Amino acid sequence: MLLDVSLENELKAIRSKSRKSTPGPGQESDATILRRILTTDGRHTQLNHLDADRLYTIDEIRKLCISYRLRFLDASRFANEIPKEAFDEIRKIQQSENIVLEGFKIIAPASMFHLIQKDKDPMLFLDLGQGWYYLIHRWGRDLKIWRKWLVYPLRSFETFLATLLTLALIGALLPSDSLMKGPYDTSALPIRVIFFFYLVIALSGLGALYGYSRMKDFSDKLWNSKYTL
């Protein structure tokens, strides 16, 4: 749909902005591959024949996860179903490379590492080492494009502060001069300044009470956290 956003396309866009070029046994059952996906944390695999369009750096993945408030964790922590197409792709690579793949990671919303949800967009990666990751398979529906903007204040403390100040400034500028001036005032500016700081304090309290307390921490701290906060 028009308002859906593909995480794979978003990751490719981040990659194209951050760099100009990339460096350059097929009969296993799904159950065998799944068992290895779920038990090979902290390992990586070297591939000889790489599709450059599937190569991503850890910095590019980090930017995507922060922008959309996603997690990038070992596949062993993924609590949802991995589709057959992902196993087919793993078998295809293993047959081509004549090796056993190990060291899988997944990008997905935090809830997908705990609950079954099918309206999300997980991405299965292979750890190649040295900060490089190879996209194996993406499944599920695309995320809604507005998710990126809804979670923007929670990307980092800086974006939270910038959002708070922007809302306070808009709130201070919206009322007309007739509402902001007393009968003997010649300018509404002093009242607007006072109102601006009042809104900063009020929004800070609301943000801490209803926003930050619910989301627990900012995305730049959570994107690769294995802990439930």
Q: Does the reported pTM lie above 0.75?
A: no
Question: Which is nearest to 221 in space by CA: 176, 170, 160?
Answer: 160
Q: Given this model, what pLDDT does residue 116 score? A: 41
**Cα–chain-centroid distance for residue 140?**
15
- Torsion angle of the four alpha carbons 62, 113, 118, 116, in this order, in degrees rounded to the nearest 10: -170
Q: Given this model, what pLDDT does residue 22 score? A: 46
Q: Which residues contact 201 (CB under 8 A, 6 or more apart)?
A: none
Answer whether residue 118 shows pLDDT above 60. no
Is 178 or 61 the better-scoring residue by pLDDT? Answer: 61
The pair of structure tokens assigned to 37 is 């996906």
Answer whether residue 19 shows pLDDT above 80. no
Cα gap 67→149, rounded to integer Å: 8
The total of other beta-carbon atoms located within 10 Å of residue 223's CB is: 23
Pair 142, 2: CB distance under 8 Å: no
Cα gap 68→66, rounded to integer Å: 6
User: Residue range 47-69: average pLDDT?
Assistant: 88
Cα gap 167→197, rounded to integer Å: 11
Q: How confident is the model at residue 142 (pLDDT cuts 50, 70, 90)?
A: low
Lowest mean pLDDT segment, chosen from 6-20, 81-95, 126-140, 153-167: 6-20
Answer whether residue 48 shows pLDDT above 60. yes
Pair 93, 51: CB distance under 8 Å: no
Distances (CA, A) of 168 to 31, 162, 200, 211: 55, 10, 6, 16
The total of other beta-carbon atoms located within 10 Å of residue 101's CB is: 24
Is 122 or 198 the better-scoring residue by pLDDT? Answer: 198
Q: How confident is the model at residue 114 (pLDDT cuts 50, 70, 90)?
A: low
Using DSSP's 3-state secondary structure scheme, residue 227 falls into coil
Q: How confident is the model at residue 228 (pLDDT cuts 50, 70, 90)?
A: low
Strands of the sheet with 132-138, listed across from one edge: 55-57, 132-138, 123-129, 104-108, 71-74
Question: Which is nearest to 195 in space by CA: 181, 212, 210?
Answer: 181
User: Residue range 3-15: average pLDDT?
Assistant: 82
